[in-house]
């Protein structure tokens, strides 16, 4: 019997005995990898480095320059952080929160208040555990065993979420004395987690870690106080609603309270939009331009329409201008350092003409707005002439709205900048957050399928480029906003589940997007589906599932 298998790595064949683990293969080839490897793809399935090879296969090692590699590293750091906190404060409860300033914001709750000195103790303890190089041991247990273990660990919120797991077993990880599960793959041992910092950030702490752009070092912390405040307010509001995680939402749906939750969430959105409109109206003598920017699938279009209605309630008569009509002719768009024309770049816009038109409009002059013909890539004039009065603010929606360069000729006192994003406040449990990016990609998959004739494969294919544009043109300017609006709705994943699961199921195992589709499927299964009938027709969610009263 042949006990040798062949593995294909970067189009080169290597031979190993059956039962060889991935870590051994990686160690043999480690000189070929400049960044730390944390896991691997084996025949298009993510496998931990402890995985033992049984058949001929293709292997692609995952390092910290990949999305999956970064997720695994952060997951390991989260486990390490929770354990260190529990060793210093034995009965504390740790909440893994949201991304903040190139890091992950967390809170530690107990009969104490977190201080900078205590954060230093936690960081020192984490480094101690890293030096021990203790393994993350994966084990499968029955549901009843999992409940018993979580009860002993005092992870009571996890006991509740198990109820919604369709499988009859539960996968746990043990590191030292602690068991936990962070809904994904782990590094082999704590020794892989050497690179991190902790930063005290009242009232919690930020775990800082390497990024895809800086895989071998921890980048400088970037403070985002406005973003933090919005997250904090959203979490407090969720707490008052008693819907802080998937389990509490599911329970409310099962008890027939979903209609109330929908109405309260929508009323909260409307109240926030009305507040923004009031703020603009109170400065009507100064504000002439309202700029709205945010990442893909944030609901900018519906938000702009609802804001317009609320501004009209205040006696204003806003008009909208599309930045798209001010694109340079395609032949004039400059090339970037990668050698292609980037239509998302602010340099693709005729900023001089745009500012000239804005200044003339604000001073009461008539302007002929251009029309950009996307078919031939050229600007045209079709007689679309407008002028405005003092009670007509100009609403401008676009990715560059927060960049001062876009409206450089307009004084800041005449501008009101709004940042909008779906800043998800709902977690699966205390240790497992739902990234805002996941909510947005799910929204986009559904919308693209229903209204844009775009397959899920095409949406996945576009998404990295979309994310790259956001990182370059939107996120660096978000703190320049006068106000931030959170478009996330506590109930939305329960509504989106029946729409997105069949689409995710279309991704074949040999697809390059199979791993991502499978990851999204795994966490969506924990939500009880919610009928959308109670959702009002002006809801931001209607932009993605249909039935909106606005043209979106």
Buried b (16+ CB within 10 A) or exposed e, 495-516: bbbbbbeebbeebeeeeebbbb
- Angle in degrees, 0-180, between the axes of helices 436-451 and 514-524, rounded to the nearest 10: 110
Q: Which residues on neighbouring strands pair with residue 417, listed in sequence order? A: 291
What per-residue confidence (pLDDT) applies to 327?
93
Domain ranges of the chain: 4-63, 68-223, 226-284+420-545
DSSP helix, strand, coil percent of the chain (3-state; round to 5): 45, 20, 35
The pair of structure tokens assigned to 349 is 């816009």
What per-residue confidence (pLDDT) applies to 425?
79
What per-residue confidence (pLDDT) applies to 424?
84
Q: Which residues contact 551 (CB under 8 A, 6 or more apart)?
A: 305
68-223 and 4-63 share a CATH fold: no
Per DSSP (E only), the strands in 202-245 are 204-208
- Separation CA 486–CA 398 (nearest Å): 17
Asked whether the beta carbons of 79 and 153 are under 8 A apart, the reply is no
* Architecture of the domain whose range is 4-63: Roll (3.10)
Asked whether the beta carbons of 437 and 291 are under 8 A apart, the reply is no
What per-residue confidence (pLDDT) applies to 1?
52
Q: From first to last of its 552 residues, what are the pLDDT tens digits of the chain?
A: 578 999 999 999 999 999 999 999 999 999 889 999 999 999 999 999 999 999 999 999 999 999 999 999 999 999 999 999 999 999 999 999 999 988 999 999 999 989 999 999 999 999 999 999 999 999 999 999 999 999 999 999 999 888 888 888 889 999 999 999 888 999 999 999 999 999 999 999 999 999 998 999 999 999 999 999 999 999 889 989 999 999 999 999 999 999 999 999 999 999 999 999 999 999 999 999 999 999 999 999 999 999 999 999 999 999 999 998 999 999 998 888 778 888 889 999 999 999 999 999 999 999 999 999 988 999 999 999 999 999 999 999 989 999 999 999 999 999 999 999 999 878 899 999 999 999 999 999 999 999 999 999 999 999 998 999 999 999 999 999 999 999 999 999 999 999 999 999 999 999 999 999 999 999 899 999 999 999 999 999 999 999 999 987
Asked whether the beta carbons of 9 and 59 are under 8 A apart, the reply is yes
Between β-strands 137-142 and 103-109, what pairing exists: parallel, antiparallel or unpaired?
Answer: unpaired
Closest by CA to 44, choosing from 538, 529, 519, is 519
**68-223 is classed CATH 3.40.50.1010:** no
Between β-strands 4-9 and 57-63, what pairing exists: parallel, antiparallel or unpaired?
Answer: parallel
């Amino acid at each position: 019997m042949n006990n040798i298998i062949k593995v294909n790595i970067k189009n080169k064949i290597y031979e190993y005995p059956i039962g060889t683990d991935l870590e051994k293969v990686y160690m043999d080839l480690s000189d070929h990898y400049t960044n730390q490897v944390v896991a691997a793809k084996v025949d298009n399935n993510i496998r931990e480095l402890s995985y033992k090879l049984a058949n001929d296969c293709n292997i692609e090692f995952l390092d910290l320059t990949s999305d999956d590699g970064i997720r695994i590293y952060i997951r390991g750091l989260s486990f390490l952080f929770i354990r260190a906190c529990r060793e210093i404060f034995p009965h504390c409860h740790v909440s893994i929160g949201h991304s903040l300033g190139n890091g992950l914001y967390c809170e530690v709750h107990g009969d104490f208040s977190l201080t900078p000195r205590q954060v230093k103790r936690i960081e020192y303890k984490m480094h101690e555990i890293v030096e021990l190089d203790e393994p993350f041991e994966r084990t499968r247990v029955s549901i009843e065993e999992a409940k018993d273990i979580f009860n002993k660990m005092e992870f009571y919120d996890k006991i509740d979420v198990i109820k919604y797991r369709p499988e009859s077993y539960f996968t746990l990880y043990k590191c030292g004395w602690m068991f936990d599960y962070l809904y994904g793959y782990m590094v082999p041992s704590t020794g892989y987690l050497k690179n991190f910092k902790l930063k005290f950030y009242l009232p919690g702490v930020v775990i800082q870690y390497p990024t895809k752009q800086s895989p071998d070092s921890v980048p400088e912390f970037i403070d985002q106080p406005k973003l933090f405040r919005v997250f904090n307010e959203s979490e407090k509001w969720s707490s008052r609603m008693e819907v802080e995680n998937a389990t509490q939402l599911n329970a409310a749906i099962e008890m027939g309270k979903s209609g109330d939750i929908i109405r309260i969430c929508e009323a909260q959105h409307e109240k926030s939009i009305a507040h923004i409109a009031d703020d603009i109206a109170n400065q009507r003598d100064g504000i002439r331009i309202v700029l709205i920017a945010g990442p893909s699938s944030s609901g900018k279009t519906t938000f702009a329409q609802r804001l317009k209605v609320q501004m009209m309630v205040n006696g204003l008569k806003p008009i909208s201008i599309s930045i798209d009509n001010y694109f340079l002719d395609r032949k004039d768009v400059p090339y970037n350092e990668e050698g292609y024309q980037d239509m998302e770049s602010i340099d693709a816009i005729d900023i001089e003409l745009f500012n000239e038109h804005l200044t003339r409009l604000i001073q009461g002059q008539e302007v002929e707005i251009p029309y950009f013909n996307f078919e031939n890539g050229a600007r045209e004039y079709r007689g679309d002439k407008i002028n405005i009065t003092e009670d007509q603010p100009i609403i401008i929606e676009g990715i560059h709205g927060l960049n001062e360069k876009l409206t450089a000729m307009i004084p800041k006192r005449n501008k009101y900048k709004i940042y909008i994003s779906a800043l998800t406040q709902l977690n699966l449990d205390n240790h497992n957050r739902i990234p805002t990016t996941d909510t947005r990609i799910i929204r986009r998959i559904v919308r693209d399928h229903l209204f844009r004739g775009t397959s899920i494969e095409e949406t996945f294919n576009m998404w990295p480029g979309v994310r790259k544009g956001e990182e370059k043109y939107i996120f660096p300017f978000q703190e320049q906003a006068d106000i931030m609006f959170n478009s996330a709705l506590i109930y939305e994943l329960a509504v989106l589940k029946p729409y997105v699961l069949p689409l995710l199921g279309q991704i074949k195992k040999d697809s390059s997007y199979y791993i991502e589709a499978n990851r999204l499927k795994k966490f969506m299964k924990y939500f009880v589906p919610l009928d959308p009938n109670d959702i009002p027709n002006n809801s931001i969610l209607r932009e993605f599932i249909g039935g909106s009263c606005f043209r979106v």
